[in-house]
Structure formats: structure tokens, C-alpha cells
Structure 1
């Protein structure tokens, strides 16, 4: 074997055409993140049904959303170390089975506030695996020239579509079948998990980093069939280290420290805004005079426009990785200002337009931040990097629905929703935009490690 050609795994993947296998794996990740998005956002449609029977205050109602995010925090921060050591595939499947089982248990046995929050926390442990690891997997697979767009279609489309489906189930099925139908529909992820077992291979970059050459040769021959003969005897070269024992220390090493801290602060602020927005916007719009169906439809609207906004931003980012922080900053500042205008105007057409804009800019930019994070680290701790970004961000996501509910409780009205969300988005835009103000040396530090 040593007489074979030497090939660099990163160059091979970066220069590949988008093959049917790329598309198949992209569809699988899309479906996985669809159920992630669906399960993440459906508690917003439970609030209206249980707040009176369970005697909930606004802050307690907000915790219905936050409880799952607490589990997500632990899942996202802990899964990266597991995935970087034992593989993307095994860890992803474990997360799926956690979500499958706990979703079914929620539908059948969550009859009180405490039991619902308990089941949501445990479900969140699995959800904390799906989105960050799906992002990592796609970024280790996609050709470099289309990595942002491929990630948006492979991860964000599914996540956004899941939020839309949650809204549609909330509007059309919960009035007849109760809020439990949200979770019975969610168990449709079980057949998907069986398909993932059968079809999903391990990440090629992980295989290369672990020296699993026979599996790597077979997979690369499917990803680039025109080079099958080369791979049969090739020596695969990678410049990366194996996973460090302390991945957190690696993320805070001098090369990555500023980027990591900036990403974490940004994610905290943006997910505070995003989960405050999606958790409360249906109820708040009903308070502002919208009908039940109209109020619930705003959640679906935001998810639909978030994909369009994310895809637009990703297309721009694909033309220049170093410009991504500036683009992200602009997206969040525009979105934050738009949300703030809801303080001054209340009409159906205006509400509709601003919620669509908020989804386009505020939520849409988050998807590109996830991809920017994945591209900022080496394979050996990339999953940990994305997991930490979303884990720290979920602290903001946990606080968003709860704190905004508490602010409404204290102030006696929904205005606090728009102050808190708009302000957080604007500050996040300024923070991430600061990366582009450091000059060429800063741009070099955030360039892909590969």
C-alpha cells in the first residue's frame, strides 16, 4: 500500500463534485434536523392549552420551552467530546433514539407541569446532539466551494421546515386532538432512525483522523467514483492532530481564543432572542388582538422566512469566508431594529411583515453562525466547537423564554418581549461584527483550519 499515491483527504473532499451520495446523505441530515426543529419549537404551541389548567404564571409558561433547552445545553456541550472520540455516526444515532423514546413518553405520560418539564429536559439531551452534530457532519462532507449553501440545504432547511410543521400541527390538529398530538406526530422520527442505521456512513474526515483506511477507501470511492482506482492503493494524508484530551482547552488556545469567545457571546445573545421570539410570539400576537389560528401561524411564518434569510446569507458568505462576521452583524442589527418597531405599531399587516423580517434576519443568521463555527476549527475538535457554541448559546435560549415571561409578569404587558429581543439581536450583531475589525491577522485566525 505504501507505493500508492499520496492524497490529502481535505483536498479530495473540497474538490469533489456534488454526487448522488452527497445528496442522499444531505437528505438524511435534512430529515434528522427537521425532527430536531419540530421538537425544539413545538412547546410554544402547548402553552395556550396548559397555562390555565395547570395554573401557570407567565414565567412558568416560559419554562415549558426552557426546560427542553436545559437538556439541550448538556447534550450539546457533552456530545462533542463523545463524537470527536467515538464517531459522528454512533453519537448521532444515540441522540435520535433518546429523542424517539422521550417524545413518545411525553405524549403518553406528561400530565402535569412537573412531568412535562422533566420529559422535555430528557428529550433535550438527545436534541442537543442532532443539530450541532448534523452541522459538523455536513461540513466534513461538503465540497468547500458550496459548504455554506450545502449546509443550509442539508441542516437549516430541515430545522426550519420542522418549525413550520410544528406550527401547522399546532394550528390544524391541536384544536381537535389536544396538544399531545404534537408529540405523537413527533414519533414519526422512529422510521427515520431505522433508515439512518442502514444508510448513514461515518464522516470521512473522522475515518481519516482515526486511520480507518478500508472504510475510508470505500466511502471516498462512492463520493468521488472517478478516482476509485487511485483510492484503492492511496496513502491518505491529513495534517490534523487526533482529538485532544481537553477539547475545551483546545478551543481556548491562543489561535482560537478570540474567535471562540466571540462566537460564544454572540450565540448566547442570539439564542436568547430567537427562543424568546419563537416561544412567545404566538401568545403575544393573540394578546395583541390576533385570532388563535393567526397567532399560531406566526411561528410557522418565522421558520419559513428564516430559511430564505439563511440561504441568502449563506450564498453571500460562500463568496468570502472572512467577510462572514460582517454579514452576520448586519443581519442581526437589521433584524433587531425591525423587532423593535413592534413597540410602536400594531396592525395585522405590519405584524405579519415584521415577524417575517425577524425570521429572515434574526433566525436566518443563526444557521450561518453554526456553519461559520464548524469551519473555524479542525476535525479533531470541530464537533466540540459546534457543541460548545450551541451549548453556550442554549444558556441564552434557556433564559430567553423564562426571562421574557418574567418581564411580562413584572411590567404587565408584552412590550418587554420586543425590547429584550430587539436589543439582544442588535448587541449580538455588534459583537460578531467586531471580528472583522481586527484586520488581516484576525481574518487569518478565523480561516478554515483545513
Structure 2
């Protein structure tokens, strides 16, 4: 009888060297996040031009900005379960095309009400594309490169945001604010076609769902030529739950505590970051600096965050992820207290904000890397996306809390001391993730295997 060739897909993917296939996945995921970053911050760049063009107040423009954030949150909550049911590839391609179309249509909005609806719809696509692109990349990444692959992909968001700033300076003066939305629509639509040709479905998803054998063979042979043939039997240590929704799985034992900790951690982290993103320039200006100085200080936070995204992924692949997260968050708390208690000249303030941005922005992506590494394939997209969606409400809260505290005339010191609260809670959440009971999870999987 011929010898049966078995291949453990999970082990195969975890142990392959990082090669051309992985660079392709990294480039595609990075580009998705660049397009996301450009589109998410587009309204911030064009808001002054809209105020001048339509002669509306700042208060009237507020719903347009907030509706995009709500769309991001809802898109993440919906996109994860869809990806765990229909595949990561379909959801990423569909989401990129969808937010491209909505952004393009936004350019012809006749009033703020229509623009608000269009930005909400664009946010749905943006919210679904981000975590699922990261999830797909994590499922192809070799084990020792998994965290850094996810965090590098999330660097695309800040790159897209920065690129949007440069393009806005050039385009708005020459072609009007609508040109930013047109570019933010046409490019994603074109890139969705590129994704349709180049982006493979997750091999782990295909294995767990026990479908698409031909597609699975093709993609594995791209990673390692001649790795499999028609006689290969694919196996995996992960089990599918055909009758259980992924949403129920992530909140069921043994995942309950980790799921809640991930939700709380990212919620508090994003509250901190969006508090600073929204109000740091005003805080700095109120501390006797000029508006141009305040803009430079705020920019340093983004520069620090981009570097931090890369470094924290490297650290998490080499040390315990929760230890890296806790250490970085504790450092963020220390820098926050130093900013509150000490007086700085401009160069010193820029340096301290760079370090704070390094810590707070990097831990944002660190939560995604932890979630992608923790959840099994059958619920990974849902677990990661729901964490992202819950976290987005933290971002919305951060912007509103900052407005309330500034309205109460809190000063520079008090505002920074307040930020130690969400940072402290996020640190506790990172510790809770590290105390997960892997023994209980293995016992559950063993019982399910026996039942089958």
C-alpha cells in the first residue's frame, strides 16, 4: 500500500523561513493599512476647507467626524464574524472596495447630513479591513516573526495618515477638498482588484474549515515548492466548531477572562491615545507654547509611535508578550507623570512626548498581536475584530473625555495625571492576559476531540 503523507498545516506554517511569499503578504497588508490610515484621517485634513466652503460651525462639523469613528467600531464588530465564516480574503477585499466606493461618493455630498452618512458607511469598510488584514498576515507568519509582522503592518496606518497630510497640502489648494476623497476612493477600488489577484485565503482557515483543498495545495506550494501533492492528508491540532458561532466561543470558557482583558486593555489604550491625538496641541498651547510649537510636539508623538510599532513586535517575538506590554505601559505611566510634574523647554517636551508616543501607540498594536497569537483559527478574526471594535469606543470616549475636562478648565498637570488612570487599568489588563489558563484550554480541546 502507498505511504500516506500527512502534513500538519499549523506546524508547517510556523516553521517555514521568512521568504518571498511572506514579503508579499506583508506588503499587501501594509498597503491596506496605508489606505485605511489615509481615509480615516481624511476628514481631519479637509475639515478647515469644509468650514470655509460651506460656512458651517465647528459644532456642526462634529457629527461628521464622530460618525466615521462609530463606523470603524461597528465595522470591526461585524467584519470579524464574517471573516471567520466566509474567509479573511473575501472580507478584506470586499471591505477595501466598499470603503473606496463610499469615500468616492462622499466627494459629491451636497450637505453635512449626507456627508455624515457617507463617512459612517466608509467607516464600516475601514473597520472591517484593518483587523482582518492583520489576522490573515498573522496566520501566515512563521511563529518567531508573528508579532513583528502584525505590528509592522499597523505602521501602515501612521504612514497613510502622514501621506494624507502631505497630499492635502498640495491638492486642496489646487483642486478643492473633494479631491482628497476622490483619491481616497479611486486608489482603494483599484487596489481591491490587485488583492483579488494576489491575496490568498488563509491556509489555516482553509484547513480548519476543511474546504478548498486545491486552493490550500496551491498556497502551501508557493511557500515551499513541492511541499504537498494530491496524496497529502492535511491535519491540524485546531478543531472547527461547525455548530457554534465564533462570537459565542470567544466569550466562553476558557477564553472569557482573556477576552475581557483584551477588550478592557485596548479600550483604555485607545482612550489614552485619542485623548492625546485630539487635544495634545491645545494642551501644549495652553502651557505657554505657540501653535506651531504645539503642532511639532503632536507630530513627535506619531513619530515615536511608528518606531514603537516595529520595536514592540520584535520584543514580543522574543520575550513573553504580556511582560513586554506591561513594561511598556508602566514606562508610559512614568513618562506621563514626568510630563505633568516637570517643566520643559520645547526640545525637552518634544523628546518626552516622543517617548510617550513610542509607548502608547506601540501598545495599541501590541494588543492586536496578542489577540492574533492567542485565539485559535476558528475564532481568531472574530476575537481580534471584536477587541478592535470595543477599543474604538475607547477612542471615541477619549475624544469626548478630553473635551469635558478642558471644558472644566483642567490644566496641563491635571490632564496628564488623569491619563495615568487608563494607562494603569491597561497595565492590569495586560497582566490578566498573561495569567491565562492554557491548561484549561487544552482540556476543553481534548474533551471536544474525544466527543468527535
Q: TM-score, normalised by structure 2?
A: 0.87
Structure 1 unmatched ranges of 5 or more: none
Cα shift readout 1:309-354 (whole Å, capped 9, x = no counterpart): 122222121123xx21122122123223324444453642233223
Contact 1:167/1:296, CA 8 A, preserved across alignment = no
* Equivalent residue number for residue 19 of structure 2: 19
CA shift at 1:260, angstroms?
Answer: 0.7
CA distance in 1, matches of 2:440, 2:370: 13
More deviation, 423-432/25-34: 423-432
Count of aligned pairs: 438
Contact 1:67/1:398, CA 8 A, preserved across alignment = no
* Equivalent residue number for residue 429 of structure 1: 427
CA distance in 1, matches of 2:146, 2:213: 25
CA shift at 1:245, angstroms?
Answer: 2.8
* Equivalent residue number for residue 186 of structure 1: 184
2:237 is equivalent to residue 239 of structure 1: yes
* Equivalent residue number for residue 93 of structure 2: 93
CA distance in 2, matches of 1:446, 1:326: 21
CA distance in 2, matches of 1:182, 1:284: 29
- Rate the CA distance shift 1:417–1:131 in 2: closer, same or farther, 3 A: farther
2:78 is equivalent to residue 78 of structure 1: yes
- Superposition pairs of residues 315-394 of structure 1, within 5 angstroms: 315-320=314-319, 323-344=320-341, 345=343, 347-394=345-392
**Aligned to 1:140, what secondary structure does the other structure show?**
helix
- Rate the CA distance shift 1:329–1:395 in 2: closer, same or farther, 3 A: same
CA shift at 1:298, angstroms?
Answer: 4.9
- Rate the CA distance shift 1:127–1:294 in 2: closer, same or farther, 3 A: farther
CA distance in 2, matches of 1:331, 1:313: 9
Cα shift readout 1:385-436 (whole Å, capped 9, x = no counterpart): 0011101111111221123123322327666653444432232123312444
**Aligned to 2:140, what secondary structure does the other structure show?**
coil
CA shift at 1:56, angstroms?
Answer: 2.5
- Rate the CA distance shift 1:108–1:338 in 2: closer, same or farther, 3 A: farther
* Equivalent residue number for residue 33 of structure 2: 33
CA shift at 1:297, angstroms?
Answer: 5.0
CA shift at 1:48, angstroms?
Answer: 5.0
CA distance in 1, matches of 2:408, 2:287: 18
CA distance in 1, matches of 2:195, 2:392: 26
**Aligned to 2:29, what secondary structure does the other structure show?**
helix
Q: TM-score, normalised by structure 1?
A: 0.87
- Rate the CA distance shift 1:299–1:269 in 2: closer, same or farther, 3 A: same
- Structure number with greater Rg is 2
* Equivalent residue number for residue 57 of structure 2: 55
- The runs of at least 4 aligned residues of structure 1 exceeding 6 Å deviation read 412-416
